[in-house]
Chains A and B, each alone.
Chain A
């Protein structure tokens, strides 16, 4: 084949350009540490990386939410431990008040003690969290859920109780893709029905003691009511306990998943440096060879020998 001088230059230059482009591409990969520089390099892996990035972000959000849920549940749990102890203690005092040998002043002092327990219980029922939200108000977290109703002293049948101003709403937290975990408990669920629950029972008993009457059958009623309250508190605590275990397990699964997503992302996007650097060296050698041969070939000319 006949060769023209322009062919020698054109082909030499395009070979140099191809090799420089390949070298530049490898250089960029190494500089960024990324296997895929633009989606055109691997459209499928690029799209997949975006999906995995979102899955990972969602999973990390669940892990954050698990933290929120754990904090919220632990706070409620702490309050319920206090509530349980108060109920236990009140139960002992109610039992003691049933002793027919007690004098009126003894009964009066038990009444004073129980009134303190009533107020302590009310304080727990109106606890707020770090955001200033009432724990046991359901959705109405800006509303103090339990309002004390002091009995009319002139009415012998009246007794101290409370009014529930919260609602039955249960706040939930998304702790995994398929689990909405309840993290708050309405006041009625913990402290009894709309009619006052444990507060009504305790209030009625206290008022009876203070009026000086022998409690008699009221002791039995109060004990029943306190036992029911304790049951409710323990039921909720059991629920919280199992939820805390669940959160912990979800946390393990979540961090496992996070690792898997990170590995997948790395496989999709990250550069194998060993391979890339060896490729860079190879391309560098090729480019140098091309440069040298270009100079050699273009340096040859018959004109060099014409004097």
Chain B
């Protein structure tokens, strides 16, 4: 009788346990990281009575959770990649959107600027056209600056996000350490039974941490979980967590390093390539090959425009009769530390400029300098050579590096273009009269008889020696004043000898044969102070001592206000290939892209990267969903199933209760017999 009551009681208890578990499952159906719980049940050990083994009811032996480490790992791996792509996409999309609108990008600004240049070329004396050129230049540089400012802002957002991510990582690490402690204690107290809900909480914390940065979790014998990042850098060990912080240290690529602060407060820097995956990995990757590359390329376009335009502008002459000055202003190349070297843009090899940032080191063994592209890691060892200014230095990748003061082991960082788009401006020297539309040299043929003899001046290669301020007190600085060179002609059997009557001038070649030289041969007039002018001759000169012989006159183009020769050359820069020189290594290289081509390449590069990030995010998202479905299929709560269980265990409860009431009645029967 008592055994019947006991058996009924075990059934009642078991049913209640099932109902509890079912309710727990229902209550936690939407709890993140919750794994469906179940019970293990077995029949109790039978007792021997009258030589027979009688069952003793049932018992619940443990509370289990439906958990598969393999499925959890798959979810974590997909989620980690998904988070990395998502954050990369989130930031590069901002840059992509910035370049998206054809009316806001650089192209309209560039087109307006060169259209204004063409207007000056068509109306060189028109002050309004010159003013329009300056205004459109100002709006072009404003466009460079605003795009750069927006990219810098995105960069600032990345830095803030990195800091925020590190904070969140630290709070999860601390939570995991604490849960480790609680799990150790509670499992010890529970005689080794699994603390399912705490395990779920810890698993969820690791899962969230893994969304931020790729982690490896290794279970320990005492029930705690050790968490590592990168190649085995421990973040959580038992109940101790380290902190991830931004350090003041700079890595070999010049970027601020992230480190780990241990128990003693000692910060150990981590190499950036160790921090992969998750949103932190995505942020670092975007900073490295998204943000910096875009800023470098945009700066490259700004630097090339300013340098090429300035070089040509300085070969011209303005309305005041003064040689052109810099039209655009550009901040000097940023060198870190600034004392290591001084770097300038090599205007003669402008096409070789790359838009990259570099590190520079000195190799004392070979007495060479090592220039390393920070983005690709490719390094070169350019030979020391004599620079145009006479000092010793390096000429590499469109840069002139002088004033080198690096010692062995020291490292300097060069940022030739990264900050250029933010610093380009219209030079303060420029006003409408100072747009140098004219060529400083006037060439003419003095022909008393009106012969067919003609001269064509080549575009100037240099304005050296053009502005001889003689005497300096009278002539304003830069006024074109190189004297005048008259070239007279003498004939001998169809060969004309060119004689420079003016002292200090010489000519090469010195003879002109119309049949072979006309319109073909290039003559160079060299004058005092490095003056050099090249020209071609055509037609047959008249040499007639009676009526008067032809002569060539090369003189400063004083009063030549309607001359647009330099304006034409300035306007042609729009369609001239100026960037991305390609050619045999060490040989002569040819630029392959116009300014607009380079911008289009930048847009296409950002577009491709964004597309890549979008499709990566989509792929990882669908992998994540698949993995999550597989996991939830095992671990998730199904409310219908739980409803069925409710009904089922309600019935077993009722049945067990009935067993007890039967036992009660039997007992009453027995008592009534005894009465």
Q: Which residues of A contact B (CB under 8 A)?
A: 1-7, 10-11, 14, 37-44, 46-51, 53-54, 57-58, 60-61, 64-65, 68, 131-133, 137-143, 167-169, 171-174, 177, 180, 184, 192-195, 197, 228, 269, 300-303, 306
Contacts and interface: CB of A to CB of B under 8 A. Distances in A.
Contacts of A194: 446-448
Contact of A141 (B121, B561, B601): B561
Contacts of B640: 5, 300-302
A171 B564 contact: yes
Given A38-B97, A302-B643, A140 B634 contact: no
Contacts of B636: 4-7
Nearest to A42: B607
Nearest to B611: A40
Contacts of A168: 442-445
Interface residues of B, number: 79
Given A40-B96, A139-B562, A169-B560, A4 B637 contact: yes
Contacts of A44: 604
Chief secondary structure at chain B's binding surface: helix
12 contacts: A2-B634, A4-B633, A6-B632, A7-B632, A10-B628, A43-B604, A139-B438, A140-B560, A169-B557, A172-B565, A174-B568, A193-B449
Contact of B568 (A137, A167, A172, A306): A172
Task: Identify the interface centre among A38, A41, A47, A228: most chain B CB within 10 Å of its CB.
Answer: A38
Task: Identify the interface centre among A7, A10, A180: most chain B CB within 10 Å of its CB.
Answer: A7
B123 A50 contact: no
A138 B356 CA distance: 47
A14 B639 contact: no
Task: Identify the interface centre among B126, B564, B575: most chain A CB within 10 Å of its CB.
Answer: B564
B372 interface: no
Interface in B580-612: 594, 596-597, 599-601, 603-608, 610-611
B596 A50 contact: yes
B110 interface: yes
Given A173-B121, A194-B446, A303 B596 contact: no
B610 A40 contact: yes
B144 to A, nearest CB: 16
Given A40-B611, A42-B607, A4 B638 contact: yes
A132 B561 CA distance: 12
B643 A68 contact: no
B411 to A, nearest CB: 36
B561 A57 contact: no
B647 interface: yes
Given A47-B604, A57-B111, A14 B625 contact: yes
Nearest to A71: B122
Nearest to B565: A172
A65 B603 contact: no
A175 to B, nearest CB: 10
B29 interface: yes
A84 B402 CA distance: 65
Given A5-B636, A173-B121, A193-B448, A40 B607 contact: yes
Contacts of A43: 603-608, 611
B563 A171 contact: yes
A140 B121 CA distance: 15
Contact of B99 (A5, A39, A306): A39
Contacts of A300: 640
Task: Identify the interface centre among A40, A143, A167: most chain B CB within 10 Å of its CB.
Answer: A40
Contacts of A58: 111, 114, 574-575
B617 to A, nearest CB: 12
Contact of B643 (A3, A11, A140, A306): A306
B105 A50 contact: yes
Contacts of B36: 4
A227 to B, nearest CB: 13
A176 to B, nearest CB: 12
B183 to A, nearest CB: 25
Contacts of A7: 628-629, 632-633, 636
Contact of A180 (B447, B561, B568, B574): B568
B111 A140 contact: no
Interface string B441-471: 0111111111000000000000000000000
B226 to A, nearest CB: 29
Contacts of A54: 107, 110-111, 574, 594, 596
A42 B122 CA distance: 38
Contacts of A51: 596-597, 600
B165 to A, nearest CB: 24
B597 to A, nearest CB: 7
B274 interface: no
Contacts of B621: 14
B433 to A, nearest CB: 12
Task: Identify the interface centre among B108, B562, B646: most chain A CB within 10 Å of its CB.
Answer: B562
B423 interface: no
B596 to A, nearest CB: 4
A295 B647 CA distance: 26
B58 interface: no
A38 B607 contact: yes
